[in-house]
Amino acid sequence: MTHRPPPLLGLARLIDTLNTRFGQACAWLTLLLVVGTAIVVVLRYGFGIGAIALQEAVLYAHALVFMGASAWTLQRNAHVRVDIFYQKFSGRRQALVELLGNLLLLLPLCLFLGWSSWDYVANSWSTLEASSESGGLKFVYLQKSIILVLVVSLLLQGIADLIKAAYALAGRLPEPEVKHHG
Distance of CA 78 to the CA centre of its chain: 12
**pLDDT at site 182:** 47
Sequence-distant (6+) residues with CB within 8 A of 72 are 19, 20, 22, 23, 24, 26, 27, 153, 157
Instruction: Please state the domain extents for the chain.
Output: 7-75+83-177
pLDDT, tens only, 50-80: 889 999 999 999 999 999 999 999 999 887 7
Q: Is the pLDDT of residue 179 over 80?
A: no
